């Protein structure tokens, strides 16, 4: 599976396209902004079909190009139940707070966590990891994890937004991510990629 990273928007959120080489099909994680740049990178990589738009959570910097990408490709928009209403509200998705407007988009698949999707013929497991937002999820596909704002290189996301919960966050880090027995390359929502085990070892709160 190949992963293409595209930093988009004023917050430099990472959008990703993941695909099996030669298949022409991809799923896109967090198309946060810059629709034209995302499509250009898809074209460069021979992608002719986007099957799913996988949102790690509902904040504006991760969803901004989802409506247009869905309209142009017919891809299914997937988001966790607890963040679903953010896709329709600039207040809830924090766009208003940062002086932006997000084109609202209807989710096609409302996630609970624990399910496995077949996206671009790739099995994608959904882990519900609330904390940064109530509906934050991490997606696992092959050896890759797409962590959104739940896990960064040597850091975690903010917990001071409406819907954030430090208590839930600690539980997600300890019990959900901390309970995984396989190392993954972690493609983070902002900044560079990392690995799960290096983060588990870096942070004392993950070892409690
Ligand atoms: Zn966020
Ligand atoms: Zn973000």
Average of pLDDT values for 142-157?
Answer: 96
- pLDDT of 89 over the 70 cut: yes
Could you tell me the distance, in angstroms and rounded to a whole number, from the CA of residue 63 to the centre of ligand 1?
10
pLDDT for 203 equals: 72
- Comparing C-alpha atoms, which of 132, 147, 142 is closest to residue 200? 147
pLDDT digits (tens, 9 = 90+) for 33-65: 999 999 999 999 999 999 999 999 999 999 999
Could you tell me the distance, in angstroms and rounded to a whole number, from the CA of residue 132 to the centre of ligand 1?
7
- pLDDT of 208 over the 50 cut: no
- pLDDT of 158 over the 70 cut: yes
Could you tell me the distance, in angstroms and rounded to a whole number, from the CA of residue 150 to the centre of ligand 2?
9
Strand partners, 144: 141, 185
Could you tell me the distance, in angstroms and rounded to a whole number, from the CA of residue 192 to the centre of ligand 1?
16
Q: Which fold has domain 2-206?
A: Metallo-beta-lactamase; Chain A (3.60.15)
pLDDT for 201 equals: 87
Percent of the chain having pLDDT more than 70? Answer: 98
pLDDT for 207 equals: 55
pLDDT for 202 equals: 82
Ligand nearest to the CA of 133: 1
pLDDT for 196 equals: 97
Average of pLDDT values for 73-95?
Answer: 98
Work out the mean pLDDT of the chain and round it to a whole number.
96
Domain ranges of the chain: 2-206
Residue 70, Cβ neighbours under 10 Å: how many?
A: 22
CB 176 within 8 A of CB 83: no
Could you tell me the distance, in angstroms and rounded to a whole number, from the CA of residue 173 to the centre of ligand 1?
16
Packing angle of the helix pair 66-73, 35-44 (nearest 10 deg): 50
Euclidean distance between CA atoms 50 and 53, whole angstroms: 8
Ligand nearest to the CA of 94: 1
Report in angstroms the alpha-carbon separations of 31 from 53, 65, 90, 113. Answer: 8, 5, 16, 20
């Amino acid at each position: 599976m190949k992963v293409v990273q595209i930093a988009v928007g004023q917050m430099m959120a990472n959008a990703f396209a993941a695909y099996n080489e030669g298949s022409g099909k991809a799923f896109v994680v967090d198309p946060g902004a810059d629709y034209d740049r995302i499509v250009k990178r898809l074209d460069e990589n021979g992608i002719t079909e986007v099957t799913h738009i996988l949102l790690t959570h509902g904040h504006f910097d991760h969803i901004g190009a989802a409506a247009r990408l869905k309209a142009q490709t017919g891809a299914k928009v997937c988001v966790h139940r607890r963040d679903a209403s953010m896709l329709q509200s600039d207040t809830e998705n924090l766009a208003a707070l940062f002086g932006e407007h997000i084109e609202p988009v209807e989710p096609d698949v409302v996630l609970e966590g624990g399910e496995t999707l077949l996206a671009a013929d790739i099995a994608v497991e959904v882990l519900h990891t609330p904390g940064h937002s109530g509906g934050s999820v991490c997606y696992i596909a092959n050896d890759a994890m797409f962590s959104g704002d739940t896990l960064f290189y040597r850091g975690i996301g903010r917990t001071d937004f409406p819907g954030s919960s430090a208590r839930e966050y600690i539980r997600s880090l300890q019990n959900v991510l901390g309970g995984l027995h396989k190392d993954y390359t972690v493609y983070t929502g902002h900044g560079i990629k990392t690995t799960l085990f290096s983060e588990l070892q870096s942070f004392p709160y993950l070892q409690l």
